[in-house]
């Protein structure tokens, strides 16, 4: 779910961030069952130069993970079939995905387990595009050639 914070209108934030993105693409998997929100997030991240795939539950996310390279997973908590915590546990117990960073997005921070090894970060909804990018960059392995780099504006 996506609420642009009043202080950071989306168009401005996106246009200011777009300049900072390098061409080499990293792959992000968004796992969210809420229609519209995941799509909007996908467009946003594509604009920033990421490659983005969507899954509407944890099980579909695991299938996508098995198919190819995913650099970071952005997941909702409550979903049908397999929820965010189950997905994270499955990834952590699979050597292929153990090292893939997972960011959990939630609108109920008190109701959701805090990252104790399961998640690399928790993003409280609503969040700003800036905070999202900052959190993603902090979770992506540093020094990676494909990492979007901030350039002086």
Partner 1 sequence: MSEQQPSSERRPTGISGLDRILEGGFLVSGVYIVQGPPGAGKTILANQTCFYHAATGGQAVYVTLLAESHSRMFAHLRRMAFFNESAIPDRVYYLGGYSALEAGGLEALVTLIRGAIQKHRATLLVVDGLISAQESSPTEREFKKFLHEIQTVAELTGCTVLLLTNAERASGFFPEHTMVDGVLHLTDELSELRPLRHIRVLKLRGSAPIRGLHSLRITDQGLEVWPRFETRLPQDVVDEAKVASGPKLPFGVRELDEMLRGGVRPASITMLLGSSGSGKTLLGMQFLSEGVRREERVLYFGFYERPESILAKCQRVGIGGLKEGVKRGLAQIIWHRPVEGVIDELGESLIVTLRRDRPQRVFLDGMEGFERAADFPERMSHVYSAIAQEVEQLGLTAIYSTETRELFAQTIEVPIHGLSAATQNIILLRHVEHRAVMRRVLAILKVRDDDYDAAMREIRITNSGIRLLDTFAGESGVVSGGGNSRAARREQPEA
Kindly tell me which residue out of 108, 114, 138, 149 binds partner 1, with binding defined by CB under 8 A.
Answer: 108
Q: How far is the CB of 65 from partner 1 (least distance, A)?
A: 18
Kindly tell me which residue out of 25, 89, 125, 150 binds partner 1, with binding defined by CB under 8 A.
Answer: 125
- Per CB under 8 A, which region of 18-26, 95-103, 109-117, 145-153 contacts partner 1? 109-117
What is the C-alpha separation between 35 and 31, in angstroms, rounded? 11
Kindly tell me which residue out of 5, 10, 22, 37 binds partner 1, with binding defined by CB under 8 A.
Answer: 37
Would you give the DSSP letter of residue 110? G
- Per CB under 8 A, which region of 8-16, 65-73, 106-114, 130-138 contacts partner 1? 106-114
Should residue 141 be labelled a site residue for partner 1 when binding is judged by CB under 8 A?
no
Kindly tell me which residue out of 93, 110, 151, 153 binds partner 1, with binding defined by CB under 8 A.
Answer: 110
**Which is nearest to 52 in space by CA: 66, 64, 35?**
64
The total of other beta-carbon atoms located within 10 Å of residue 139's CB is 18
What is the C-alpha separation between 21 and 58, in angstroms, rounded? 29
What is the C-alpha separation between 139 and 59, in angstroms, rounded? 23
- Per CB under 8 A, which region of 4-12, 44-52, 77-85, 129-137 contacts partner 1? 77-85
Torsion (CA) 96, 98, 102, 107 in degrees, nearest 10: 110
Should residue 33 be labelled a site residue for partner 1 when binding is judged by CB under 8 A?
yes
Should residue 43 be labelled a site residue for partner 1 when binding is judged by CB under 8 A?
no
What is the C-alpha separation between 89 and 92, in angstroms, rounded? 5
Q: How far is the CB of 150 from partner 1 (least distance, A)?
A: 28
Q: How far is the CB of 40 from partner 1 (least distance, A)?
A: 10
What is the C-alpha separation between 104 and 114, in angstroms, rounded? 9
62, two tokens:
């695991």
């Amino acid at each position: 779910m996506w609420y642009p914070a009043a202080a950071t209108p989306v168009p401005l934030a996106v246009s200011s961030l777009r300049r900072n993105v390098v061409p080499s693409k990293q792959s992000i998997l968004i796992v969210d069952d809420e229609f519209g929100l995941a799509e909007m997030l996908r467009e946003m991240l594509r604009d920033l130069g990421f490659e983005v795939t969507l899954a509407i539950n944890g099980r579909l996310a695991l299938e996508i993970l098995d198919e190819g390279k995913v650099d970071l997973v952005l997941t909702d908590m409550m979903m049908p079939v397999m929820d965010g915590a189950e997905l994270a546990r499955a990834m952590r117990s699979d050597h292929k995905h153990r090292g893939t960073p997972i960011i959990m997005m939630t609108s109920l921070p008190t109701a959701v387990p805090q990252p104790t090894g399961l998640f690399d970060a928790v993003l409280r909804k609503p969040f700003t595009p800036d905070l999202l990018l900052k959190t993603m960059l902090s979770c992506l392995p540093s020094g990676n050639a494909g990492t979007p780099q901030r350039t002086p504006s």
